[in-house]
Structure 1
Amino acid sequence: MRVIWTAIFAYLLHCSCTAEAVTVESLPAVGYGGFVQTKLNHTVSLSCSSTAAGEEELQWFRNGLLVSLPEGNRLHQSRLCVYPVSREDNGAIFLCQLKNNAVVNGSVQLEVTYAPELSGTDELFLEEESDMTLSCDSRANPPVTMVWHRDGQALDLSVGRYVATDDGVTARLSATTLKRELHEGLYSCTASSPVEGTTTTKSFQVTVTDKVMKFPRDAMIAGIVVVVCTAMLALLSRWDRIFKCCKK
């Protein structure tokens, strides 16, 4: 019996030593759940190594798409550099596998922290009784709360019948039936990122102008058509008299 158990143990040990495996390491180091935390414009260095015997070739994939590698960066060990890290890299999965055995693989996922990109001042001229919509980029990881101000004071949404919305991509501030005394001023949207430790702001200088009476084009066209039709009917009704006059 001891001989049998010894043989089984030796077999299992042999299998564990000869099993193919792929290991992916990262700088910054891989954290909890296989995530690599980084920031915008930083660099992430990935390395992949294989325990397979022979000239086993490695492949890299980003979100399922094959990454092109030079010939000297494929056998046994392969390196990949992500620089500069962008917003589009947030959530991206980098997978390394054996070319001839896709089951043998390893992967990491990037988690990119970034704040909204807010800057500059837009100038708007809007007529009284018209509508207003101000938009700010609110994309951030982790998500942030957008705060609106008017003339340096936190905006009271109930005064001026404002509506503030944020779908995680764009924050909007809207108002209808503008009035100069209620809506004119310097607006700003501000976002504070707890991770980045930064505050970004975009401003809007809103000037409410007098309402301009618009030319009633449709009504005028309709009036011209009526006048022309009336003139033609009048001409047709008098055609016999005009014809007799011309014959004389």
Structure 2
Amino acid sequence: SAGLELSVNNHAADFTLSAELGPAISLSCLVHNSSQAEELLWYRGDGQVRLKDGNKVNISNICISPVNESDNGVTFTCKLARDKSVQVSVILDVQFPPKLSGEETLHVEEEKDVTLTCNSKSNPQAQSTWLKDNHNLTLQQSRHEVYQTSEIFRLSIKKLQKSDNGTYTCVVESPLGYGTRDFHLIVEDKKPVFPTEAVIAAAVVVSLTILFGIVARKDTIFKVW
């Protein structure tokens, strides 16, 4: 295979191909400097792509349709069947805006913790912020914690107070667009907690009262008879 070369979409070396959601992408692999029929193989990641007869020799085409988010970052590689070291790879760079919308309402007791999570996945990666009642949220180091990855944006609030009542908005913005999601947080009164011993004692008192009531009534019944 000395002197043999491959090209994908006229690229003889590995490259990145930008794409949008939806429209199909065609990849064409071509053998150069060959004097004989050469079989070609296509791979998506580590998995081999099944090719129809007539689409394997000297030139081979594959189509990705429709392009979706799961194709982002995926490597497609064309290889020479008899010498897999002869290859060209293309990495898909699928660009898409944040997909974020809707609202939800949360009822949480005072002094409990709450976590608000929104989907911040986009390419290119988005900038994310939290608002409270349409104003930038002022973070308190001891009570607020913000966590972000390429896919989620999360706000945790510890030991809720009544002043935490309000609408929290997750804003995710990228060059391709933006999305928001509202969380209506309602901080409810803390429910009284009874000690287990007190509950058991109360149950015993009620049981004894009922028992004595039955016994007293029994005496009355006997007296009547």
Normalising by the smaller structure, the TM-score range is 0.7 to 0.9
Alignment partner for residue 161 of structure 1, among 128, 143, 148? 143
Q: Tell me the residue number matched to 1:50.
A: 31
User: Which residue of structure 2 aligns with residue 243 of structure 1?
Assistant: none
Residue aligned with 1:71, SS: coil
Aligned residue type for 2:146: A
Q: Is the 8 A contact 1:192 1:200 kept in 2?
A: yes
8 Å CA contact 1:160, 1:183 repeated in 2: no
Residue identity matched to 1:200: G
- The answer to whether residue 5 in structure 2 is matched with residue 21 in structure 1 is yes
More RCO (CA 8 Å, sep 6+): 2
Describe the superposition over 1:193-225 as per-residue Cα deviations: whole angstroms up to 9, x where unpaired. Answer: 11x1x11111111111111124544x468869x
SS in 1 for 2:184: strand
Structure with greater helix share of residues:
1
TM score, norm. by length of structure 2: 0.79
Contact 2:145 2:155 in 1 (8 A): yes
TM-score by length of 1: 0.72
State the 1:43 CA deviation: 2.2
Residue 199 of structure 1 corresponds to: 178
Q: Choose the corresponding residue for 2:48, options 66, 88, 93.
A: 66
Is 2:14–2:89's contact at 8 Å kept on the other side of the alignment? no
2:169 to 176, 188, 195: 188
Residue type matched to 2:139 in 1?
A: L
Cα displacement (A) at 1:163: 2.1
Q: Which has the larger radius of gyration?
A: 1
Which residue matches 1:84?
66
Is the 8 Å Cα contact of residues 160 and 175 (structure 1) preserved in structure 2? no
Contact 2:14 2:88 in 1 (8 A): no
Q: Do 1:122 and 1:203's aligned partners in 2 also have CA atoms closer than 8 Å? A: yes
Aligned-residue identity in percent = 33
> Corresponding residue for 2:122?
140
Structure with greater proportional strand content: 2
Count of aligned positions: 203
Other-structure match for 2:103 = 121
Distance 1:53 1:99 in 2: 15
| C-alpha displacement of 1:190 | 0.6
Does 1:171 find its partner at 2:153? yes
Runs of at least 5 residues in structure 1 that lack an aligned partner in the other structure: 1-14, 228-248
Secondary structure of the residue aligned to 1:73 is coil
Q: Which consecutive residues of structure 2, in runs of 5 or more, have no partner in the other structure?
A: 205-225
